[in-house]
Structure 1
């Protein structure tokens, strides 16, 4: 189910990106950078455009990096119809602080619209598609001027669409993000429940890591300011940057715990911890003192270093042969590639397209899926170790039969049921004859072989409900519910015959094995220990009578059997 959810998210994101890239609907643009003097008005900018001061832009999405001066864009609309031409302009990315759209006809300003996330009262983004402006063009020639200003990376995708196409485009984007957020929330909920139940720190760190990325995606895709904190311009200016650094901190914290970095590489652990604490202090100081440009550079630098560090920590884990290190390395590489592609798409180094813009989400979806699989694999290994420990605690390592403690745990409810309902219950105690002589004469390896063979014989003869155990040394015990003394006696004879049939090769000779067996039936004993003591006493009676025989309590006491 985890992989199915991941592939659904992947398909939705890729489909949205390909559909959007196939028909960008970007008008032909020209641009002008302001020179740092007084801000231009729309009429002044149009005059400069007509003087040829604007530079034509090549096809593709224009971008200007971090801290660029305000940029003016121009495109023309020629409408030959008789009525108004209605279009929706989708402009920019959700973190642009101020966007102004001016529509002019015959050199006269006809409409002005403003949006952005940098000032209270400005219209916010409509989500991942940036800012939407509803425009009406009169017949004839119209000029559209756009002024964009932000301290963050300035990226200006533009689409001029009919309203129905804009709605369809927004719907595809919303479906893609809905699947992504649903998938991430499912991973968060699953690991949160595991943490609540098991208290494994790695699952809590995973929840914090994935949860931080979810918040970051909500912030930089515009869904946060559009739906969760609308109108909070000051908060929106810094929230993306703070979450970028917090994501790095949570990712490195997860890596340190998951790879047991403090144990396998204590110096690296201290260095990583120092780095992300310093990064958190730096972004906090930038936010506190209003240093937005410094905060932007800090956040992008930290994210790039974080991506590289995650891969380096994966190498450390692989060299230390840590469980889950291959998973971690694969996830770190996918996350690093996605983050690097998105950073270069919005800054410099790669063209800005829907796919490159959303590469971080694709990379993190892969990363989150692989890390969830790694945690599940680790949980499976832990469970296997617990089961092995429980088996070792309950079973004799040599013979594979239950040990004395496990016998007591399983026998208690059987005894309680028999006593409460007056049901028959019997015990057999079997002790191998002359076992010390076998060890002294032939060595402990042969003695162990005899013990194992006797245990296998007892397992073969016991019924499904019987409880057999190694009682200690060469002594074995069998508790038989719903069994009378007469039936237990018959079982004891079968066990004795099976022990006698043990064939241990000794250089051409045959090692004979026999046992002394005692049988006791419950007839009002106060507790199970009293019943076992009686069976043990009958076992010693067999030894006194010459060994290699069965002895038991009435009604079987009048019988004695010896080969």
Structure 2
């Protein structure tokens, strides 16, 4: 049963690093008895007694002698899980297993903590040779008495009394949930754990793989850091739970000893890399960003030194020291980013809270502060799954916001900000598509170019602000006057362009005259004055399917020039010719 970095962090913060669970004075003086007939569904650590080694390693005979001379050396735990600190030394568990029947009773004894370095099971029965089973991370999987990730021993208890002794040693935090049950009950417990961790690992692996694919496609580092964050968590928990040694490195004993602190470093580093990138602390919180870089640089140097000196205990203490700092930094970055207006930070903050709360509940459960329950025991894993899902939502929300910003920017690039009409960039792609389609089908289509008469005089007489109001009002009137399906754009300055699909010259002239008449009747108030204006209109239609849109627009502009020459406030219409566009006079010469 794995307990991970946040769980271990909270245990340390609860000051459970130097002593075992509280003693009960009324339980001194005898070796506890376990009924071999009972099939205990839960942990039975509170049904045994323990003593801690002081100094040199004790042998079975020495332990037996100590108990025989002075039974008060044994201490009875008050909780179903025995908790000691990091590198706290070896402990012995002792109990007498009583079989009142005349038959052998097969039971499995297991310590369901995956990171214990060595667990020795001793079973002593009168008139029988002593039995010794061994397990733990220091022993390759195929050399263990029972090739399981959890230290276990199967033993057929004979009639009468059998002394059960366990010696447990680890440099990691001492966490001992002892189970005594039938093989069937043990298998059921293992199946439940397998189903639960299959869900946890499957969900987090899927999120990690998906974001790695997003990084490969989009090349945005936040997806890579998120994938590494989830992946390092999976690797770290696999090392602590024993799953890694059972499935991935069954004989790599040296790696198993160093994997927890190294993978905890990777997990914290990847988590902060994701957080700083996602929340953009380099830009918004540069001092915090720099402090994080310095802190983890120093931490990495210390861990490297511990590895070079082969000091596993200090490396573990450093790993557990960085975890509360990591959690505090994640919470601080989430809160500060949210308060500064970063809406995406709300998912980040909720995810971080879920993992911290889950770890706290699990820590309080296994430490005996709150009653032991399966949901409480697995709260750390549930919290990390919620954290992973909420961080995935945070990434999705960020992508959505970025996409909205991109679409808004693209839309603004196609829209004239003053009139709200399409500009050339928004007009030409649609107009060219329509022009090509209509031309291929040999259908009617016309182009209209409109220019406001004497617009420079309006600016000079009334000011540019009034000129802007005139442009906005004329644009609105043109938009109201156009037919559904006509494409209108501000071409530039005081000039507008329309594309009239399915329209011949006669119909185009009627449409253009309607525009001219409506603008002529338009009155624009400006600070107590009334501004009136007129427009000149040039209309062109292709004479063959080979005429380009650009050529048609140039022809319409030439016709607009003719309308200007002929006195303005009128419509001039004609078909495109085959002469090059450079030979067509432009209305720009007579604005």
Q: TM class, shorter-chain normalised?
A: 0.7 to 0.9
Q: Secondary structure at the match of 2:84?
A: coil
User: Among 563, 568, 574, which residue is 1:542 paired with?
Assistant: 563
Between the aligned partners of 2:446 and 2:483, the Cα distance in structure 1 is 13
Q: CA deviation at 1:302?
A: 1.3
In 2: Cα distance, 1:146 partner to 1:245 partner: 32
2:144 maps to which residue? 122
Backbone CA RMSD of aligned residues: 2.8
- Which residue does the alignment assign to 1:96? 116
Q: Cα offset for 1:461?
A: 3.8
Counterpart of 1:529 (choices 534, 540, 550) is 550
Is residue 499 from structure 1 mapped to residue 519 from structure 2 by the alignment? yes
Identify the residue that residue 410 of structure 2 maps to in structure 1: 390
What secondary structure does 2:416 align onto?
A: coil
CA separation of 1:408 and 1:198: change in aligned 2, threshold 3 A: same
> Hey, what's the Cα distance between the residues in 2 that align with 1:180 and 1:333?
18
Q: Tell me the equivalent position of 1:35.
A: 54
Give the deviation of 1:80 after TM superposition. 2.1
Task: Report the Cα offset of residue 109 of structure 1.
Answer: 4.1
The question of 1:409 aligning with 2:443 is answered: no
Aligned to 1:46: 64
Q: Is the 8 A contact 2:44 2:177 kept in 1?
A: no
Aligned counterparts of 2:510 and 2:288: Cα–Cα separation in 1: 69
Question: Which range moved further: 544-553 or 156-165?
Answer: 544-553
SS of aligned partner of 2:86: coil
Q: Which whole-Å deviations, capped at 9, do the CAs of 1:416-460 have from their partners, x for residues lacking one?
A: 334444333210111122323333333333332332232223333
C-alpha contact (below 8 Å) 1:61/1:353 kept by paired residues: no
Give yes or no for contact 2:540–2:552 (8 Å, CA) kept in 1: yes
| Alpha-carbon distance in 1 for matches of 2:256, 2:364 | 22
Shift of 1:34: 1.8
Asked if the contact 2:115–2:240 (Cα under 8 Å) also holds between the matched residues in 1, the reply is: yes
State the partner residue of 2:126: 106
* Distance of aligned partners of 1:171 and 1:502 in 2 relative to their CA distance in 1, 3 Å threshold: farther
Q: 1:304 and 1:368, CA in 2 relative to 1: closer, same or farther beyond 3 A? A: same
Aligned partner of residue 64 in structure 1, secondary structure? strand
| CA shift for structure 1 position 31 | 0.8
SS at match of 1:57: coil
SS at match of 1:65: strand
Partner SS, residue 470 of structure 1 = strand
Give the TM-score of the pair, scaled to structure 1: 0.87
Query: Hey, what's the Cα distance between the residues in 2 that align with 1:259 and 1:519?
Result: 55
- 1:17 alignment counterpart: none
Deviation at 1:355, TM superposition (A): 4.9
Distance 1:35 1:247 in 2: 35
Residue 553 (structure 1) aligns with: 574
* CA distance in structure 2 between the partners assigned to 1:281 and 1:348 by the alignment: 36
Aligned residues: 532
Greater shift in the superposed pair: 352-361 or 187-196: 352-361
Unaligned runs of 5+ in 1: 1-20, 556-563
Alignment of 1:324-339 (within 5 A): 324-339=344-359
Give the structure 2 partner of residue 235 of structure 1.
255
Q: TM-score, normalised by structure 2?
A: 0.83
TM-superposed CA distance for 1:261, in Å, is: 1.8
* Structure 1 match to 2:16: none
- Structure 2 unaligned regions, length at least 5: 1-39, 577-591
Give the deviation of 1:62 after TM superposition.
0.9
Alignment CA distance shift 1:292-1:344 (3 Å): farther
Aligned: 1:208 with 2:231: no
Q: How does 1:278-297 map to 2 (within 5 A)?
A: 278-297=298-317
Alignment correspondent of 2:171: 151
Q: SS at 2:304's partner residue?
A: helix
1:151/1:508 CA distance change after superposition, 3 Å: closer
SS for the counterpart of 1:391 is: helix
